Structure 1
Amino acid sequence: MNGKKILFVSSELVPYLPENEVSLMSYEAPRMVNSNGGQIRIFMPRYGNINERRHQLHEVIRLSGMNLVINDMDMPLIIKVASIPKERIQVYFIDNEEYFKRKATFTDKQGNLFPDNDQRAIFFAKGVMETVKKLNWSPDIIHVHGWMASLLPLYLKNFYADEPLFADSKIVLSVYGKTFEGTLDKDMLNKIAFDGIPDEAIASLAEPTYNNLLKVAVDYADAIILASEDIPEELENHISNQEKPVLPYVPVQEFEEAYANFYNTEVLK
């Protein structure tokens, strides 16, 4: 991994959120690359239940200040950073008061999905790409974790298709077990189409379930990692129909060599 640039884009990350499959691997994979001489950047949303004082988040004025258009609305983008002290790893947080101030990640106190989760996912994908452009940092690999980050492959290969900075970037998608029931807002399709993304690219999002979100992500990824033992059968079938490199499930205790080999021999070949 020496000298390779890897952008990690994740829905969740320890130590900022509780440990689960997504948040743990979103920490372990960059730590592995960092310790093997790779260059990394990590992005996640700045949810309102992240303790800014404890984790010493601070705004980066030179990166903040632009507006992103989401479904014909101007939404201000705020960028914050913090460091994971024991690893000396810096994390960038995508923030917006309307989308991320609430004191929860994906659901309300009753466990209902937030009605604007679709717009939050669009804002997150575009916010990451715009910030990386401002950093003028061209990643060799973009590794995506978690459904809130799952629109990034679609946007990279469509909305940002002509951006020279990402011309040679390869997308790795980690697919996890099903993490929400029901659907996001049924109008999600039109909100993405507003960005000029062709209808045929997002047809399955007429029913924006977890499986359909991940199917679209799989369609635009260059390589897939099965990051859970229990992947929905519908998703497994969709992945098996793709002619793309796939890394079978590897437990977190044994992942380092497998992921490094996969990056080097299947993704960067």
Structure 2
Amino acid sequence: MNILFAASELSPFAKSGGLGDVLGALPPVLKGEGHSVSAVLPLYRGLRERIPGIRATDLFLQIPMGTTVKEGRVWEAEAPGGVRLFLIEQEEYFNRAQYYGENNADYVDNAARFFFFSKAVVEMARYLDPAPEIIHVHDWQTGLVPAVVKARGLPFKTVFTIHNLAYQGSFWGIDFPLTNLPDSFFTAEGVEFYGYVNCMKAGIVLADQVTTVSPRYALEIQTEIYGCWLDRVLQEQKHKLTGILNGVDYATWNPKTDPLLPANYGPAALGGKGACRKALLESFHLKDDGAPIFAAITRLAHQKGIHLIQEIIEGLLWQDIRLVLLGSGDPAAESYFSSLAARYPGKVGVWIGFNEELSHRVTAGADFFLMPSLYEPCGLTQMYSLRYGTLPIVHETGGLADSVKDYRPDLSAATKDGTGFRFSPCSGQPFWDACQRAMALYRNKVELNRVRKLGMKEDFSWTQSAKGYETVYRRALAS
């Protein structure tokens, strides 16, 4: 198949979260399976200097934006895995300090910026040789692509992936003329949603197939609790909705070969994990008396369940655990955890910000990984922690429920083969109880190592995910 990926992020060139990771990993795997794969993203500030071998093409796109026309030039480079990469240059829209906004505020012209990008993707696709059969678009920033394809009667099939339904690209109805779509598209069957242009809804309704990043999340977003007001729309479109769990790049996240660790290890030889634990405690100046290490690498936000960690953590500290936290976000949460480290010296280590090397060392050195997210479309860090023998403690939602098997040997023989700890509902007492179950397992080192090895052998590689996408592409082509 000929597949063109379109998104606002692609690792390692442009990344603010999991979206960039997916676009950096999935296209090369599909290319390795024999498909013709290319990708396109905006030419953000600094990319010309950072992308090796980038070159300008002779293709200039004339894109109508309401009553005016904006020009975009196409650049070309190579993405990871030999994937052909196109970049759309438009200085007015993309020569910015950040991708979406600054100082915790979105850019006021984001509607125009990403309407332009969506239309430029479709226009560029008309000139590619060979022409793409599938245009696979991701999140609201490219949600208008299926609408443009349908309005122009073009032969491309479109697949739309929802990475996080909460961010929808919803703009005032007065911005609709910037789409240059026929008025018939500003209806309940099209891009309109309660008087707004909703790019997420546009992708869901008008794409040939829709996916999201875990099977559990595909079900959850059809409910009022998780549907972010689009649950009815998703129920109507469920015949074309598929949940496919994101994959993990095991070339980067593998304790056997990870160059960022003080010692390497694997399920057949766990000794190096002890060395990683010792180094982690030393780096945060924490006491090493055999107490379990609980860790969190997270955005400090309500959605990530930070308030639940705050609710139970001091009780756990009185039970003599160690806490290592790496993250940033809400200023009040940053202040709380910084003061917690000051009040519990030798027990709590906190790093406000993000550090790639440290994230690997924390994942390897900890015993348990805290992810009490209120909702989590997929999540990757729980899959990383499983591969590193660090047992995740997760709220039973989305991709967390799909990737972590609950260890409850007190309930049945089947749950003895669990790989972590799940809790529900998402509140303090069930979270506390899951942590107590983890501590009970920690006291039985033989059983602890058995469960660690089970988690380390789980396979969440992109090869598995790619098979699911191939099936969706075939459905789109047959529709």
- TM-score by length of structure 1 reads 0.83
Q: Which residue of 2 aligns with 1:130?
A: 123
Gaps of 5+ in 1: none
Match of 1:176 among 163, 169, 177: 163
Pairs within 5 Å for 1:113-192: 113-158=106-151, 160-161=152-153, 166-167=154-155, 169-178=156-165, 180=167, 183-192=170-179
Match of 2:473 among 253, 263, 266: 263
- Whole-angstrom distance in 2 between the partners of 1:145 and 1:216: 12
Q: What percent of counterpart residues are identical?
A: 21
Using the TM superposition, give the Cα deviation of residue 225 of structure 1 relative to its aligned residue in structure 2, in angstroms: 0.6
Match of 1:88 among 77, 82, 86: 82
Query: Is the alpha carbon distance of 1:31 and 1:205 closer, same or farther for their aligned partners in structure 2, counting shifts above 3 Å?
Result: farther
Aligned length: 251
Gaps of 5+ in 2: 248-459
Using the TM superposition, give the Cα deviation of residue 77 of structure 1 relative to its aligned residue in structure 2, in angstroms: 0.9
Using the TM superposition, give the Cα deviation of residue 61 of structure 1 relative to its aligned residue in structure 2, in angstroms: 3.3
What is the identity, as a one-letter code, of the residue corresponding to 2:12?
A: P
Match of 1:219 among 205, 222, 230: 205
Deviations 1:154-194 (A, max 9, x none): 11111x21xxxx42x321110121464885355222322x4
Query: Is the alpha carbon distance of 1:129 and 1:197 closer, same or farther for their aligned partners in structure 2, counting shifts above 3 Å?
Result: farther
Query: Is the alpha carbon distance of 1:57 and 1:236 closer, same or farther for their aligned partners in structure 2, counting shifts above 3 Å?
Result: farther
- Whole-angstrom distance in 2 between the partners of 1:11 and 1:176: 12
* Aligned: 1:244 with 2:239: yes
Using the TM superposition, give the Cα deviation of residue 30 of structure 1 relative to its aligned residue in structure 2, in angstroms: 1.2
Match of 1:73 among 68, 71, 88: 68
Match of 1:56 among 39, 52, 58: 52
SS at match of 1:174: strand
Deviates more, 1:11-20 or 1:131-140: 131-140
- Whole-angstrom distance in 1 between the partners of 2:65 and 2:76: 23
* Aligned: 1:97 with 2:84: no
What is the identity, as a one-letter code, of the residue corresponding to 2:90?
A: N
Q: Which residue of 1 aligns with 2:366?
A: none
Using the TM superposition, give the Cα deviation of residue 67 of structure 1 relative to its aligned residue in structure 2, in angstroms: 2.5
SS at match of 1:244: helix
Using the TM superposition, give the Cα deviation of residue 9 of structure 1 relative to its aligned residue in structure 2, in angstroms: 0.9
Answer whether contact 2:10 2:23 (CA < 8 A) is retained: yes
Q: Which residue of 2 aligns with 1:16?
A: 13
Root-mean-square deviation (CA, aligned residues, Å) is 2.4
Deviations 1:38-88 (A, max 9, x none): 01121111122x432221363433212x4322121221111112212x511
Deviates more, 1:140-149 or 1:14-23: 14-23
SS at match of 1:14: coil
Deviations 1:99-152 (A, max 9, x none): 0111210112x1211111111111111111221212244222111112211110
* Aligned: 1:39 with 2:39: no
Whose Rg is larger? 2
- Whole-angstrom distance in 2 between the partners of 1:205 and 1:81: 39
Query: Is the alpha carbon distance of 1:43 and 1:181 closer, same or farther for their aligned partners in structure 2, counting shifts above 3 Å?
Result: closer
Answer whether contact 2:191 2:201 (CA < 8 A) is retained: no
Query: Is the alpha carbon distance of 1:11 and 1:82 closer, same or farther for their aligned partners in structure 2, counting shifts above 3 Å?
Result: same
Where relative contact order (Cα < 8 A, 6+ residues apart) is larger, the structure is 1
- Whole-angstrom distance in 1 between the partners of 2:53 and 2:14: 14
- Whole-angstrom distance in 2 between the partners of 1:13 and 1:181: 19
Query: Is the alpha carbon distance of 1:251 and 1:51 closer, same or farther for their aligned partners in structure 2, counting shifts above 3 Å?
Result: closer
Q: Which residue of 1 aligns with 2:191?
A: 202
Answer whether contact 2:111 2:175 (CA < 8 A) is retained: yes
What is the identity, as a one-letter code, of the residue corresponding to 1:203?
A: E
- Whole-angstrom distance in 2 between the partners of 1:138 and 1:131: 10
SS at match of 1:156: helix
Query: Is the alpha carbon distance of 1:156 and 1:57 closer, same or farther for their aligned partners in structure 2, counting shifts above 3 Å?
Result: farther
Answer whether contact 1:11 1:147 (CA < 8 A) is retained: no
